[in-house]
Amino acid sequence: MAERNEYRHFLSIGTRWRDNDIYGHVNNIEYYSYFDTAINTYLITFGELDIYSGTLIGVCAESHCKFVAELSFPEIVEAGLRVEHLGTSSVRYGIGLFRKGDVAAAAEGWFVHVFVDRSNRRPSPLTPALRAALEALQVTVRS
């Protein structure tokens, strides 16, 4: 399982009352919401991604999550982010979801963005600012 030191950036996300399901833990679909929140917050903050009027938008092409330990409300989830592969118009992120202060991830997964032109939806090269922000998160993934 992934450990905290394998990630380059962290975002704290508070679980919400509505995140829990009838079984008393965060429902699986919310984990993907945490992934999306961690990625897009980073891109907007550090990659100058303009989600409202920029020429590029990121579209999810693939995602996966491995659940290891339950998360629940109320808790702080620390979402770790790294870049596992960076292409011309695409990126594969690795994401680890940690209970506040834990070394081992409660869940880990990956998410692939393809950046496309907003108007024609065709793949388009990353802007220099996006590329620089993503390069800062690159790691060599262990097998």
| Boundaries of domain holding 14 | 4-135
Report the alpha-carbon distance of residue 139 to residue 112 in Å, rounded.
15
Both tokens of residue 72? Answer: 């629940």
pTM beyond 0.85: yes
- Say if 81 falls within a structural domain: yes
To which H or E segment does residue 92 belong?
Answer: strand 90-99
CA atoms 107, 113, 119, 125: torsion sign? positive
User: What would you measure as the largest C-alpha separation in the chain, in angstroms?
Assistant: 45
- Say if 120 falls within a structural domain: yes
- Say if 143 falls within a structural domain: no
pLDDT tens figures, 38-76: 999 999 999 999 999 999 999 999 999 999 999 999 999
- Say if 141 falls within a structural domain: no
How many independent structural domains does the chain possess? Answer: 1
